[in-house]
Amino acid sequence: MTAVGVIILGMVLFLRPGGGEDRVSPAEARNMMEHQKDVVFLDVRTPEEYAGPAGHIEGALLLPVQELEARLGELEGFRGKTIVAYCRTANRSRHAVALLKERGFHALNMSGGIVQWNAEGLPVVHEGTP
């Protein structure tokens, strides 16, 4: 592969949706949930989505991405933990992770969001908003 090819490949990998930030697969996130105490799941969807048919991850905090910057203070107690952010398909959570990292949090974006979590048959809660 030529040097130009390597540069183009690197740009494609960095600029693709979900690229350029730390990511974790749903299976890896589930493993973290089961084996680590310092993990917090952050659902950045709307309250309607959280309570909707796709469900949400048990114990996840709901903080819609549109409100995240204004409500960052609510996450101060989690500064020493790993925050795994998710949304429907990992687009909004990508933006949330960028903001959290910019503000000094350790955050990961869950690839594929709740859609992929459900596709992998991982457990969800189907009840109302918190």
Active site residues: 87
Amino acid symbol at 122 = L
Contact assessment for residue 118 and residue 87, using Cβ atoms and an 8 Å cutoff: no
User: For residue 102, which phi and psi values (nearest 5 degrees)?
Assistant: -60, -30
> 45: helix, coil or strand?
coil
Neighbours of 27 (CB within 10 A): 13
